Amino acid sequence: MPTLRESFTAAMKEAMKAGDKTRLSAVRLIQAKLKDKDIEARGAGKGTATDDEILAMLQKEIKQRQESAAIYSQAGRGELADQENAEIAVISSFLPQQLDEAEVTAAIDAAIAETGAASIKDMGKVVGHLKGAYAGRMDFAKASAAVKAKLSGG
């Protein structure tokens, strides 16, 4: 199975051959962000970004574009919102299959059991466990809210 970096390069080549400017632009953006991340890591004395770090970066990029698309939509700038949504689709194509709601609930229940979490004070342990096990496969903002609700007796 190719690494994420290899997938980006292959996607860029395919987009160039197909003349898909939207996909090409989005993949170039991803590669630029990845290069910045690698430079930052090198400055901190680390190696290149791991796949988990790349997945987290991709999720952050998607979240930024979702926020931008919402702002553009509210401002009546549909063409800009469409562009953001197109980039979201391209970036999402590199993420592993996302867990559905039932799988997220089951994962949270399992993480609570495995970490022995009993109260809201243990929320960090549970979310940390989930991030380690499901990087790139769930929305951790929603998962954190669900963990908080479960641990506070909700």
What pLDDT is stored for residue 117 in this prediction? 82
Distance CA 39, CA 117 (A): 37
**What are the pLDDT tens digits along the chain (154 aa)?**
578 889 999 999 999 999 999 999 999 999 999 999 888 888 888 888 888 788 888 988 999 999 999 999 999 999 999 999 999 999 989 988 888 888 888 888 888 888 888 888 888 888 888 888 887 788 788 888 888 888 887 5
- Find the helix or strand (DSSP H, E) in which 85 lies: helix 78-92
For 139, residues 6+ apart whose C-beta sits below 8 A from its C-beta are: 59, 98
Delineate the domains of the chain, giving CATH numbers in brackets.
4-92 (1.10.1510.10), 101-151 (1.10.10)
Whether the full predicted model's pTM is greater than 0.85, yes or no, is no
